[in-house]
Structure 1
Amino acid sequence: MKWKQDPYFESIEQIHKSLELKPIIALKNFIAREPSGSIPISAVSKRGLEFDIHINVARFMRQYPSIFEEFTGPLYNLPWFRLTQEAVEIDKEKRRVYEECRDDLREGLRRFILMSREKALHLKIIKGLEWYLGLPSDFLENPEVNLDGSFRFVEMEDGLKGLAVVKNEGEKVLTVLQRNAIKRGVYSGEPNEAIEFPLFPSQGLRLRRKIEDWLIEFQRLPYVSPYEDYSHLDPSTDLAEKRVVGFLHELLSLFVDHTVERKRLLCLKKQFGLPQKVHKAFERHPRMFYLSLKNKTCTAILKEAFRSKSAIPSHPLLNVRKRYIKLMKQSGRILKSRRVTNRSVDQPNVVKDLDPDYEEDCKGGGAMAD
């Protein structure tokens, strides 16, 4: 199926600025943890890869003067950085959200783990997706505060540490798709009951008649919740594909921006029982997902989250990230203003003062020495 650009999804800032924001937040957190609230550049200059920064760290921070304020340190005239007052205020709001919405963050993590085959995930997988789940970087380091009795740390089969979730007896976890279908009165939760995925065609994107007919039959298939056992499914069937598509829908609904870099899903295949070419599911269902090729990567977007905003609950951290993006954009205006100011300072005077001796000669009749 030929990919077609959708201007609407290509223009959503919270999606396409998210990757740019991630290293900024990592640096911001590093500075905020310092008792003095400031750091010398030497504290981070050799740690660019740790923050996912691929240029000189000082140069990177100077690109965002609305977030990082540079000043001369107390020793050796080294450059130091601290957060601007606006960044400090947003950081306070973020901390408040973490405190007030800890239960929501915990539930998102719980659901993520419950979709896995063993109801347990490697810690490195959770760490790799904590940005998308909206978890603070130290969330797992404080289990007594952030986790409840349903979580337990385990040793996985390959010897690596993992986090498992124990379901309550008789507990039935419903996906956002199931909850919405129940609200609409089109789903009762009976076995082998169908739920049609909400579809949102992009303008100018037409499916072949054969694909249209297949999609109608696909929608009529029973809905297989990603929280249920799928071991009995034949991976080559359309029913197995509907389970995979349902998993991707639920996964993206848990994420802050309801998007994910497609390559991030590669590490999930074994743990979540996904097919080798799981990325093809996004391409085969362009009315559910949109693939953006901006920022030199491929980002999968859940269309329903943006076309039917009341259908997918908003993540508690979303507004905080939007504020950071707005502040981040101010940096461009600040740098532009500085460039204009510097050009005006460096601009030479068009009319220069005459040499005093030359002026005297002119007054004396213009006689010149031989």
Structure 2
Amino acid sequence: MAQCLLFNRAGQFGFVYRYKKGFDYQQKCGLVNVKLKWAKDRALDGVVAGERDVRAACILVSMISSTRQCRLPIYHLSHRRGQLGLPHDLKLSTFVRRYPSVFHESYVFDSGGTRVPCIGLAPEALELHGEELNVFEENQMDIINRLRKLLMLTREWTLPLQTIDQLKWDLGLPYDYHASLIPYHPELFSLVNLPDDRVGLKLLSWDDELAVSELEKNAALQQNEEDMKNGCLAFPIGFTRGFGLKRKCMDWLKEWQRLPYTSPYTDASHLDPRTDVSEKRIVGVFHELLHLTIQKKTERKNVSNLRMPLALPQKFTKVFERHPGIFYLSKKNDTQTVVLREAYDRQKLLQRHPLVEIRERFASMLRKGLLDRSRGLYKTSEDSDLEHERLNDVYDDEMSDNQCISEEESYCDLLSKYDSDEPIHDPR
């Protein structure tokens, strides 16, 4: 288990920092040039591993279940491939066939009399999706408040829908929240046209009760009264077992923890972006943002385009590297995923949202289907398998020849709306 360095009145997090230097003095101090090394954390890597397939499968289930017959031709699904986050070299038919416990293949005839592969859902997958819809309904206010708090973090209480779409899985929003959630709360949300011709979601009213960060909520139980009075709240910190922290880094970290804490819900325009005080505010913003997610993690690329809405300076995602005791950057799934360390005890999520259980059951269903398929339990006959393979590959090739170029262009157009100040993969 990670060794914890920090605060708890009962001694859980170690030591407490008790003095505060003047705010003006701290504002004059520039960023300290300290870089802590990245160390692999197998437990947190395990939290991230497999997430991509679970997310893609859940999105496909939502797409298919929204149709009248609960099945869709594979070319309809291929049009929405960009939403799944699957590798570009992985055929959609290959992914679907990998999990026969969730997806069933069948065929329909198009207007020209050609057999077209169709993807339907297994009864168990439909049943579990129904339970997921019930969880959405029972926790609707919690989900709405997460969205409200996200918008309250922004400068104008507004975010483009594309940005929210990138975060909706992590926030626990329904796949079709545009239609199933937003229109039913006109007193809270409004769709607006942004200057760049995109559509944005605007929060219509501020709620002081929501404008309290998770760190502030926990401060009364975990921190020293004098620190609370002075506004010097410290973040819980833990490192991977065996992580070596040099003395100068330890001294800098102690001093940094003593700096004033600026709530992510308050205006920080007065802070000099070249100081450690400003950096602590940035850490506070992402600390709160990750707490808004139901599994306390998100891909780095999902937040790299939030600089303007959150009023952050250039190179703001560098805080993930500078503070490995607060954030862990997993490199699983050919991307970088930011995980909030304090939210996990090894691989155990300490605060479990009801949606987490649904996703874990989906993951279990995927694993079972993959295992049963490897045992040949889903195999009917060699001829049938060859016919399935031939038809799907032919259809995939037709899609590749006729539609992949346009799909890639549309996918690139979508990604162009997420222009970032940071690359997805930082050079090491």
TM-score (norm 2): 0.73
Say whether 1:39 aligns with 2:72.
yes
Q: Deviations over 1:125-148 (max 9, x none)?
A: 112211111111221224565535
Contact 2:44-2:346 at 8 Å conserved across structures: no
The alignment partner of 2:344 has SS state of helix
Q: Deviations over 1:65-92 (max 9, x none)?
A: 1110123447755433221122112101
* Structure 2: distance between partners of 1:58 and 1:305: 36
How do 1:56-67 residues align onto structure 2 when only pairs under 5 Å count? 56-67=91-102
Contact 1:113-1:164 at 8 Å conserved across structures: yes
State the one-letter code of the partner of 1:328.
L
* Structure 2: distance between partners of 1:340 and 1:194: 60
Contact 2:300-2:336 at 8 Å conserved across structures: yes
Counterpart pick for 2:187 among 149, 155, 159: 149
State the one-letter code of the partner of 1:23.
A
State the one-letter code of the partner of 2:331.
L
State the one-letter code of the partner of 1:201.
F
| Residue of structure 1 in register with 2:106 after alignment | 71
Contact 2:227-2:233 at 8 Å conserved across structures: no
| Residue of structure 2 in register with 1:120 after alignment | 158
Counterpart pick for 1:89 among 112, 127, 133: 127
* Structure 1: distance between partners of 2:159 and 2:321: 27
| Residue of structure 2 in register with 1:21 after alignment | 54
| Residue of structure 1 in register with 2:63 after alignment | 30
Structure 1 range deviating more: 303-312 or 31-40: 303-312
| Residue of structure 2 in register with 1:49 after alignment | 82
Return the offset for 1:11. 2.1
Say whether 1:227 aligns with 2:265.
yes
Return the offset for 1:343. 12
Contact 1:122-1:161 at 8 Å conserved across structures: yes
State the one-letter code of the partner of 2:155.
R
Count of aligned pairs: 343
| Residue of structure 2 in register with 1:2 after alignment | 37
Return the offset for 1:222. 1.4
Structure 1 range deviating more: 184-193 or 38-47: 184-193
Return the offset for 1:191. 7.2
* Structure 1: distance between partners of 2:282 and 2:71: 46
* Structure 2: distance between partners of 1:103 and 1:340: 41
Contact 1:200-1:307 at 8 Å conserved across structures: no
Q: Deviations over 1:91-140 (max 9, x none)?
A: 01110011111100000000011011122212221122111111112212
| Residue of structure 1 in register with 2:390 after alignment | none
The alignment partner of 2:155 has SS state of coil
| Residue of structure 2 in register with 1:252 after alignment | 290
Contact 1:38-1:81 at 8 Å conserved across structures: yes
| Residue of structure 1 in register with 2:321 after alignment | 283
TM-score (norm 1): 0.83
The alignment partner of 1:44 has SS state of helix
* Structure 2: distance between partners of 1:312 and 1:148: 34
State the one-letter code of the partner of 2:73.
P
Q: Deviations over 1:6-39 (max 9, x none)?
A: 1221222xx3222222222222112101111223
The alignment partner of 2:306 has SS state of helix
Structure 1 range deviating more: 180-189 or 24-33: 180-189
Q: What's the Cα RMSD here?
A: 2.9
State the one-letter code of the partner of 2:41.
D
* Structure 1: distance between partners of 2:182 and 2:320: 38
Structure 1 range deviating more: 45-54 or 239-248: 45-54
Contact 1:4-1:205 at 8 Å conserved across structures: yes
* Structure 2: distance between partners of 1:187 and 1:263: 38
The alignment partner of 2:303 has SS state of helix
Higher relative contact order (CA 8 A, sep 6+): 2
Contact 2:189-2:201 at 8 Å conserved across structures: yes
Say whether 1:207 aligns with 2:249.
no
* Structure 2: distance between partners of 1:172 and 1:188: 25
Structure 1 residues 122, 190: closer, same or farther in 2, change over 3 A?
same
The alignment partner of 1:317 has SS state of helix
Q: Flag the structure with larger Rg.
A: 1
Mark the runs of 5 or more structure 1 residues left unpaired by the alignment: 346-370
* Structure 2: distance between partners of 1:245 and 1:216: 15
